Amino acid sequence: MAAILVAAPQVDEAQLLVNAFRHRGHLSCALQVGAMACSEIPSLDLVVAIGGHGKTQFAIQTQYLIDRSPDARVFLCVGAAGSLTDSLKLGDVVVGTHSVEHDYKLRFVSRPSPCHDADATLLQEFRETVRTNTFPFRIHFGPIASGDEDIVDPVRAQELRAATDALCVAWEGSGGARAACFNGLSFLEVRCITDGADSDAAVSFHENLVQVMPNVAELIIRWHLLRGYPEISLGKIDVLRDSERLPSRQGVRRYEASTTSP
């Protein structure tokens, strides 16, 4: 299995990511991980999975994936987001310095919302990637609000911005962060802006996702080059496993296919 797990909440987000990798020359192989249909990108040493919608479902499927990925060291939560500030535009990418769980509401005591920090090393690597590369889109670093709530009203968006200082809002990041942290994996959330968290958010999301999701793929590819991962073919991985007699995990099956999964 790959060292890097990448999960997007919905099928469209995951498929567009895989398509963008393929367009840049990084071909995928269908990978069945237990009940989860994933895509492995051998040249990037990563697996793309569908994490599910909402914090709880995303955390459950992340844990399921991690349990069946013995070589995993990094977990990336990726997908679309709504902007909470006028400084962000369509297609901008936000790398989360931390994910703020805004819908975790305590009433018995008064405490700040849970805040899940990005892995410091990963964050520095992404900062260095941005510093040493030129991108046709803008990349920001800052908090990302996470909670099971569609933000479709400018007033609510500003409330959330004031409460969390977040640059953008999505649902699943805190669920992925909790699962990754519990298992000792390095975590980072990366989101692309599809809408303004306003009354047009639903329409904007569907209209713009295909245009902006490749930006996330491009950033991951550049980050991968910075880290200097070797490009290992699928066949070589299998040979190494046989020669070193590494134990296989039940429920993990790899096969080649002409179409990609997700």
What was the pLDDT predicted at 245? 25
Q: What is the mean pLDDT of the chain?
A: 85
The answer to whether residue 256 scores a pLDDT higher than 60 is no
Quick one: pLDDT band at residue 261, thresholds 50, 70, 90?
very low
In a domain, 245, yes or no: yes
Residues in the chain: 262
Three-state SS string across the chain, please?
Answer: CCCEEEEECCHHHHHHHHHHHHHCCCCCEEEEECCEEEEEEHHHCEEEEECCCCHHHHHHHHHHHHHCCCCCCEEEEEEEEEECCCCCCCCCEEEEEEEEECCCCCCCCCCCCCEEECCHHHHHHHHHHHHCCCCCCCEEEEEEEECCCCCCCHHHHHHHHHHHCCCEEECCHHHHHHHHHHCCCEEEEEEEEEECCCCCHHHHHHHHHHHHHHHHHHHHHHHHHHHCCCCCCHHHHHHHHHHHCCCCCCCEEECCCCCCCC
Residue 260 lies inside a defined structural domain of this protein = no
Percent of the chain with pLDDT over 70: 83
> CA-CA distance, 117 to 256, in Å (whole number)?
37
Q: Is residue 166 part of a domain?
A: yes
Residue range of the domain that includes 53: 4-254
What span, in angstroms and rounded, lies between the C-alpha atoms of 25 and 251? 29
Residue with tokens 């995303």: 58
Q: What angle do CA 44, 20, 136 make, to 5 degrees?
A: 100
Q: Across residues 13-30, what is the average pLDDT?
A: 97
- What pLDDT, on a 0 to 100 scale, did the predictor assign at position 104? 66
What was the pLDDT predicted at 180? 97
Total domains, the chain:
1
pLDDT value at residue 99 = 92
| Residue 237 pLDDT | 28
pLDDT over threshold 70, residue 37: yes
In sign, the C-alpha dihedral spanning 7, 13, 14, 19 is: negative
Assess if residue 64 is contained within a domain.
Answer: yes
Q: Is the distance from CB of 167 to CB of 99 less than 8 angstroms?
A: no
Q: What does the alpha-carbon distance between residue 130 and residue 44 come to, in Å, rounded to a whole number?
A: 18
Higher pLDDT: 1 or 237? It is: 1
Query: Taking a C-beta distance cutoff of 8 angstroms, is the pair 193, 204 a contact?
Result: no
Residue 84 lies in a domain: yes
Asked whether residue 236 carries a pLDDT value surpassing 60, the answer given is no
In a domain, 154, yes or no: yes
- Residue 54, pLDDT above cutoff 70: yes
Give residue 151's pLDDT band: very low, low, confident or very high (50, 70, 90).
Answer: confident
Half-sphere exposure of 193 (CA within 13 A, CB side): 25
Question: In this structure, how many other beta carbons lie within 10 angstroms of the beta carbon of residue 3?
Answer: 15
pLDDT surpassing 50 at residue 6: yes
| Cβ count near 109 (within 10 Å) | 5
258 — pLDDT class (breaks 50, 70, 90): very low
The answer as to whether 262 is a domain residue is no
Nearest Cα neighbor of 194 from 10, 4, 7 is 10
Amino acid 238: pLDDT: 30
> What pLDDT score does 109 carry?
64
Q: Which has more pLDDT, 202 or 83?
A: 83
* Residue of higher predicted confidence among 253 and 98: 98
Instruction: Give me the CATH number covering residue 95.
Output: 3.40.50.1580
The pLDDT, as a whole number, for residue 214 is 97
Residue 261 inside a domain? The answer is: no
| C-alpha pair distances (Å), 121 with each of 1, 37, 106, 128, 184 | 22, 30, 31, 11, 14
pLDDT (tens digit per residue) in 79-129: 999 999 999 999 999 999 999 887 666 567 666 677 789 999 999 999 999
pLDDT band, very low/low/confident/very high, at 243 (cuts 50, 70, 90): very low
